[in-house]
Amino acid sequence: MEKYVLSVLVKNSSGVLSRVSGLFSRRGYNIESLTAGRTEEPSISRMTITLMGDENTLEQVKKQLNKLEDVIRVVNFKADESVYRELVLIKVKANAENRAAINETVKIFRSKIIDLSTDTLTIELTGDENKISALINLMEEYGIEELVRTGVTALQRGEKTIKNSSENY
């Protein structure tokens, strides 16, 4: 099984997210992650969908997505031609003894402490999946109170855009 990252341009209309996610559930495909938001054009939204599967699964998903009325374009982003990023917020236990060590780790990862209380620190990190996972693994030793990840978001490298991409299924 391989990981695929699809970028999907859709009309920015009510219910489009539900229709797209419904397509996956009706066909028994699992969405590993999904991010969505408006683009530079307010009438268009962009979804970044990560899924696991084989080439056949990928082709079926793309064909089914393109059948939806709200879908404008579907592009499979290849890792070597794209930039992938994810955001994580981690609330970790912190006391007087371990606060300095946590702060040093935060600096090494070029992340930020965005909130603190007497018993916790909240860390913000943006990066690729490996960087996010590495920080999470290190913070587990201090005790993670809460964690949230956005899922992958992506853009093609260089001058390529989803609008001028030759891929259109």
User: Is residue 106, in this structure, part of any structural domain at all?
Assistant: yes
The mean pLDDT of 44-51, rounded to a whole number, is: 96
Question: pLDDT at position 19, please?
Answer: 94
* Claim to verify: residue 60 and residue 91 sit in the same structural domain: no
Residue 93 placed within a domain: yes
The predicted structure's pLDDT at residue 167:
56
Query: How confident is the model at residue 166, as a pLDDT?
Result: 61
Q: Which of 77, 107, 127 is the last residue of a domain?
A: 77
Q: Quick one: which of 145, 104, 141 has its CA closest to 121?
A: 145
**Boundary residue ending a domain (49, 77, 105):** 77
pLDDT in tens, 66-121: 999 999 999 999 999 999 999 999 999 999 999 999 999 999 999 999 999 999 99
Note the pTM of the prediction, 2 decimals.
0.86
Name the H helices within the chain: 16-27, 55-67, 99-108, 129-140
Residue 165 lies in a domain: no
Query: Average pLDDT, stretch 136-156?
Result: 96
Q: What are phi and psi of 40, to 5 degrees?
A: -65, -15
Domain ranges, residue 56: 2-77
CATH of the domain at 34: 3.30.70.260
Residue 140 located in a structural domain: yes
